[in-house]
Chains A and B, each alone.
Chain A
Amino acid sequence: MSREPLVQGGTVFDIGYQRYDGPREGRQRPRRAVFKDGLRIAFGLGRGPRAKLLPWTFISLLCLIALIMALIAGAADRIAGQGAAERANLPSHGDFNAFASMLLFAFAALAAPELLCRDRRDGVLSLYLVRPLTGSDYVMARWSAFLVVMLLAALLPQTILFIGLVLGDLEPMVYFRTHWLDVPRFLGAGVAMATYLTSLALLVASFTSRRAYASVFLVGLFAITTPFTAGLAQELPGAVGQWVSMFNVTNIPLHVNDVFFGATTELTEDAPARELGSTMLVGWWALTTALATTVLWSRYRRMTP
């Protein structure tokens, strides 16, 4: 007598372990994977709600500031007539980075350590370095990922502000024609701010495996050195005061912002460093950013013999 199968239809096969003989994509795939992972960490993607809270709160706040600025300008035009916002010298793109700088600095201080400190603290870095990825590949992938994050934080609010100002104006096309140059200006200023903060924040984060230490140090760096150098520069006469003012870490990217917009902000208008001229100010920003990036890179480069 033949036995009837208990279950008719599908059959499950255990095909066992399968060897992989497909493509292995050299060093490019690992670099892209670490870059993508850096974005996911910074935005808290694939992680719990707490990991998402910090980045999206900061980005939302920055966008909210831009939106409020656009709404005020639009309301002024409607209440006091066309061009009222400009006549009243209401803050616009040139001033935004000064308003937002503290938020951007705080965001960099809190988010950058997430990208480097955890890997060292959890020991994941040792797994990366036995794969087709050098220390340089790793840190440059992380740097690129954080730069994208900082560019978003710096440029998205400016974009919202520009769209808001165009749409809020009584004559949007006229506003666009007369103010379109603000777009390359805020792009340039945003790139300067993002690269500077990315390099500086990741450099500090590379010195410790504890995120809190890196964040506190960065916040302290911005919060303490800014008033200290500003006060000291005012007391010291001539070139000495100007050079002390150059070490105000908050103002370094804001001076570049001033150069792009051809005007000063509240934070930079009294800075003696301005007297050194645009070339020196932009050069100083480039030097500090390049130096921070080079030191960061060299610290990880040594990990691959």
Chain B
Amino acid sequence: MTAPGILAAEHLTKDYPNGVRALDDVSFTIDDGITGILGENGAGKSTAIKILLGLLRPTSGRALVLGQDANADITVRARLGYMPEHDCLPSQVSAAEFLTHMAEVSGLPPKVARTRAADTLRHTGLFEERYRAIGGYSTGMKQRVKLAQSLVHDPAVVFLDEPTAGLDPAGREEMLDLIRKTHREFGISVLFSSHLMGDVERTCDRIIVINGGHVVHHGEVAGFTREMETVFIEVDHGREGLIAALAARGVTASEDAGGLVLSGVDESIYDIVRDALVASGAPLRRMAPRRRALTELFERGGAPA
């Protein structure tokens, strides 16, 4: 029998009273590290997270958190952190006071709560601003407070729901750095939900792709990224000859947007394309790496094996 991992979903199905099936026989295991849940809005990511947090009961199946049933004993939540996507901060109180309070609500004694609140604010870059009312913070600072409150009680695993939502490019980069730091320096496992493939790829070790309530991909990010990469080639003429030359070298090309798209690429593809161009005599106009859109993956029913 294999170890259950930090989080596990066993044949989870969730039907809402309005007849919508949000999850359909979903199973996965999440181990230590940074795991991304990727899916479009309405794919079932939030439902999966809510079941793992014990906020929803599954219609059937079981969610295991740190080896315990998520709904059996709420004291397991003392070891979980949650950063919701929506606003969740009081405007009137300071970050220091709010974090101290949330640490106590997580079960820490008051003295420890105060110390950990100050430490966590230092690690998330808010130490200098800790006595200002949260209502006066920028969007980026508020996102950091949201992350800080999820870490203040030193959870074993933290759930981050769209943590980069509403951030500018610099703020997004800082938040992704903090998420990487959360696991690599703090030793806290992360479950990171997003609909942005780039954020997940740059941050996560593993990925779970959900679409329409089904898990369509589950594995290492590196493999997923490779499968999602394509090369786009545009030639002035002789496209058919190039396709044949590529096929002769074992590469399948599909026609798209006036050019050719090569899937399942690796480092050697550029040498193969060069040889195929020489052999076919097709004059190259443009060649560029591209990525498949997430919707393409869903249309195909999952990532290539």
Contact = CB atoms under 8 A, between A and B. Distances in A.
Interface of A: 16-20, 22-27, 29-30, 32-34, 36-37, 46-48, 51, 118, 122-124, 126-134, 304-305
21 contacts: A17-B185, A20-B116, A20-B154, A22-B112, A24-B78, A24-B79, A24-B106, A24-B153, A25-B107, A29-B107, A47-B93, A51-B92, A122-B87, A123-B87, A126-B86, A127-B82, A130-B55, A131-B102, A131-B106, A132-B78, A134-B74
Contact of A131 (B92, B105, B109, B133): B105
* Interface of chain A: mostly helix, strand, loop or mixed: loop
Nearest to A14: B122
B54 A18 contact: no
Given A17-B185, A123-B84, A130 B77 contact: yes
Contacts of A34: 105
B123 interface: yes
Given A17-B123, A23-B109, A130-B54, 20 more contacts: A17-B119, A17-B185, A17-B187, A19-B154, A20-B108, A22-B109, A25-B109, A26-B107, A30-B104, A30-B105, A34-B105, A36-B104, A47-B93, A122-B90, A122-B91, A128-B105, A130-B77, A130-B82, A305-B54, A305-B55
Contact of A132 (B74, B89, B91, B101): B74
B108 A29 contact: yes
B149 interface: yes
Given A20-B154, A132-B77, A304-B74, A37 B101 contact: yes
A29 B111 CA distance: 12
Contacts of A36: 104
B153 A133 contact: no
Contacts of A25: 107-109
Given A48-B92, A122-B91, A123-B88, A27 B57 contact: no
A24 B108 contact: yes
A118 B90 contact: yes
A132 B75 CA distance: 5
A30 to B, nearest CB: 5
B16 to A, nearest CB: 13
A126 B84 contact: yes
A27 B123 contact: no
Interface in B153-171: 153-154
Contacts of B84: 123, 126-127
A30 B84 CA distance: 20
B56 interface: yes
Contacts of B116: 20
Contacts of A134: 74
Interface in B56-114: 56-57, 71, 74-75, 77-80, 82, 84, 86-94, 97, 101-102, 104-109, 112
Nearest to A138: B105
B90 A124 contact: yes
A127 B108 contact: no
Nearest to A128: B105
Interface string B234-271: 00000000000000000000000000000000000000
A127 B119 CA distance: 20
Contacts of B78: 24, 26, 131-132
Contacts of A118: 90
Nearest to B149: A127
Contacts of A20: 108, 112, 116, 153-154
Contacts of A123: 84, 86-89
A22 B56 CA distance: 30
B97 A46 contact: yes
Which residue, B87, B106, B119, has most C-beta atoms of chain A within 10 A?
B106
A27 B74 CA distance: 9
Nearest to B156: A19
A37 B78 CA distance: 19
B53 interface: yes
